[in-house]
Amino acid sequence: MKRAKQTLGLFLFYLVSVSVSNVGLFAGSASAATFTVTSTGDNHDPQPGDGSCGWPKSSPFYAIYSAVYPCTLRAAIEEVNAQRPGTGPHTINFSIGFGNQTISGVSLPYLMQPVVIDGGTQPVFVRNNLVLTVAPCSSVGHPCIQLNGNGWLGSVLTLSAGNSTVRWLAIYNYYDDGISVTSDNDLIEANYIGTDTSGVPGPWQKTGVAVTALPGYSAANTVIRNNLISGNERGGVLLFGSGVRNNQLLGNFIGTTVDGSAALLPSSLDCNNNNPTTGVFIGRGASNNMIGANVISGNCDGVVIDATGLTDPYSSTTALRTFNQVLGNRIGTDATGWNPVPNRLHGVLINN
């Protein structure tokens, strides 16, 4: 625990001078609701929109049905999605017993309303000298709530509303994406994406975080910071599409163990196929994204910026200029910068 806590804070000093465009995410709303997950189950909410996650406490039958319809993560998301448009950001907290807990299931509902999902609120016991006290999980420096996707063909979490936050979760054992972002102004921080709470990768992961936009739509101004994104077969972070712009990837460990000392390989790593594992892939016209102060090591390719087949709108003879920036990263080294943790093919590869 101590090592993990030190690791998550390792790059905080890099971020002091970085301007984060969506700090307003933390501003609350008078019409925001809070739901607290109390069960590791995967039950639906019995009546989304009634303001209660699980069976309502006001019901005279609460003692009978509360065990059948507890507040699960699925039920909490269903309640958030049923809130009035224009409200939020709403909040989903956790209080499932104490310590590490596993929520197993299939792909969760898309997040259609702004929400903060905060796994750091899960209570844990901590020792203060000889006294055990209860503290939030965020105080121990690693996630306590882990989402096991059970190899589901889909994304575990999909941020579709914008202005949402996902923090202090471990997400693993998914077949497609750990987190899919298709909206603007989101924040993804302090998560383990591709591993469980102890930093051990699951067997199925394809992509850790995928930020994508359909033609005519945007996925912009999202910050992905201070996460462990490792053990993913296809890649750590995907920024893909012309509407994907002005996103920031800061202070993450991508492709390494939780302490940044060695590579953390997916269950299947083949650097000779057509889609080798890439730490960060920027493609299909994604522009003005900043990749800064990350450790990107142990992959096939560290960073790939690909504009193959795209022409600049101002010059038919010039390859598309995307203005992405790769600044101040440790690529192919450990977290200290002194020891090699090589990417097997390229550190940074630019195709146009």
pLDDT, tens digit, 9 for 90 and up, residues 125-177: 998 888 899 999 999 999 999 999 998 788 999 999 999 999 999 999 999 99
- The tens digit of pLDDT for each residue in 256-314 reads 999 999 999 887 777 877 678 899 999 999 999 999 999 999 999 999 999 888 877 77
* Residue 243, SS3 per DSSP: coil
Rounded to an integer, the average pLDDT of 69-83 is 97
- Amino acid letter for position 224: I
Whole-model pTM: value is: 0.90
Q: Facing residues of 181 across strands?
A: 159, 211
How far is residue 259's CA from residue 249's CA, in Å, rounded to a whole number? 18
100 to each of 136, 210, 320, how far by Cα in Å?
12, 26, 47
- Is the pLDDT at 6 greater than 50? The verdict is no
Look at the block and give the residue holding tokens 């700090």.
23
- The tens digit of pLDDT for each residue in 103-124 reads 998 779 999 999 999 999 999 9
Most confident of 5-9, 148-152, 201-205, 324-328: 324-328
Helix/strand number for the chain, H first, E second: 4, 28
CB 108 within 8 A of CB 79: no
How far is residue 175's CA from residue 181's CA, in Å, rounded to a whole number? 16
The pairing of strands 311-312 and 315-319 is: antiparallel
Rounded to an integer, the average pLDDT of 71-82 is 98
99 is written with which tokens?
């310590």
Query: What percentage of the chain has pLDDT greater than the value 70?
Result: 90
| pLDDT interval class at 22 (50, 70, 90) | very low
- At 126 the pLDDT is 92
Burial class (CB in 10 A: 0-12, 13-18, 19+), 345: middle
Q: Where are the domains of the chain?
A: 2-28+89-351
Q: Facing residues of 158 across strands?
A: 180
- At 276 the pLDDT is 80
- At 30 the pLDDT is 54
- The tens digit of pLDDT for each residue in 179-231 reads 999 999 999 999 999 999 999 999 878 999 999 998 899 999 999 999 999 99
69 to each of 42, 47, 79, 98, 122, how far by Cα in Å?
10, 10, 13, 20, 20
Sign of CA dihedral 22, 51, 72, 124: positive
Q: Residue 260: left (phi > 0), alpha (psi -120 to 50), or beta?
A: left
Computed over every residue of the chain, the mean pLDDT equals: 89
How far is residue 168's CA from residue 161's CA, in Å, rounded to a whole number? 20
